Amino acid sequence: MSIVVTGATGKLGRHVVGQLLEKVPAERITAVVRDEAKAADLAARGVRLAVADYNAPETFDGLLSAGDKVLLISGNEFDKGRVGQHRVVIDAAKAAGVALLAYTSAPGGLTAGLADDHRATEEVLLASGVPYSLLRNGWYFENYTENLAPVLAHGAVVQAAGDGRISAASRADYAAAAVAVLTGEGHENTTYELGGDQSFGFAEYAAELSRQTGREIAYNAVSTEQYAAILAGAGLPEPLPALMAGVDASIEKGELEITTGDLSRLSGSPTTPLAEAVEAALKG
């Protein structure tokens, strides 16, 4: 029996596989990748590689086995029918008789369009009868801290979230929760609402950037229409500008402030604080 991770060379997937290697023997881990060359480092550590593509259902034939625990990391090809892609893995899991399929979803209270594919995938998974765990991941710090160049260049954090607060955490935090579910017991047919221990607003984010850089970084709150236009002007492809602006509208309504404590309980550690996330980004 394997622990199978799809999207294993992606930004979240690499964290998951790396943390799994700290808990289970490498030969128990199967990394599902589209490009074997990108996973050469994982193979060198003893991880089994399986080459498969959400867009080619036949590549999943025979990939999963009875008793496997599977982490389905949601795809990021927004223009290729993500629900259909996810269904390929769910169907393969059902045919194989896996013990558990965990899916990286979105917070249950999120009404932004970004959540539509996640809700539809959840419906497919629940209807399949496969034992499931819904990992409803909140927002990642890296969604902001990996794109600091324009913020620092213009001296401003520009968002359309008003005074809304967000319970962000690091990819490593969310990976730790996934690893706990994949290596633990009793997670069948569960739903976890995952987010950082401490929420923050973008004025606080700008203030933290100011403190750590010694520069004046302002928070400029704009409308969702203005924000979508800014993102499109920066070269973000459709449909992402509207989707991201919709997320900010949800943040303003409090839909990404997660108060369950599920993330730190699953991982067994407090989540990464804002100051630490900013410090790591500025050093990186």
pLDDT at 1: 84
Report, as an integer, the average pLDDT of 119-147: 97
Report, as an integer, the average pLDDT of 75-80: 74
Confidence label for 5 from pLDDT (cuts 50, 70 and 90): very high
Decide: helix, strand or coil at residue 273.
coil
Min mean pLDDT across 27-36, 181-190, 234-243, 267-276 is at: 234-243
In whole angstroms, give the CA distance from residue 63 to residue 41.
21
At residue 81, does pLDDT exceed 90? no
In eight-state DSSP terms, residue 270 is P
pLDDT at 224: 97
* pLDDT, tens digit (0-9, with 9 covering 90-100), for 180-216: 999 999 999 999 999 999 999 999 999 999 999 999 9
In whole angstroms, give the CA distance from residue 57 to residue 252.
39
pLDDT at 20: 98
pLDDT at 238: 87
**Percentage, residues of the chain above pLDDT 90:** 94
DSSP H or E run through 281: helix 274-283
At residue 167, does pLDDT exceed 80? yes
In whole angstroms, give the CA distance from residue 37 to residue 25.
22
At residue 77, does pLDDT exceed 70? yes
**Percentage, residues of the chain above pLDDT 70:** 99
Spell out the domains of the chain, with CATH numbers in brackets.
3-137+170-194+259-268 (3.40.50.720)
At residue 154, does pLDDT exceed 90? yes
Confidence label for 79 from pLDDT (cuts 50, 70 and 90): low
Q: How far is CA 256 from CA 92, 106, 189, 252, in A?
A: 32, 10, 23, 9
At residue 80, does pLDDT exceed 70? no
User: How many CA within 13 A on the CB side of residue 63?
Assistant: 30
pLDDT at 231: 94
At residue 48, does pLDDT exceed 90? yes
In whole angstroms, give the CA distance from residue 95 to residue 62.
9
Closest CA to 102 of 143, 74, 142: 74
At residue 76, does pLDDT exceed 90? no
* pLDDT, tens digit (0-9, with 9 covering 90-100), for 10-31: 999 999 999 999 999 999 999 9
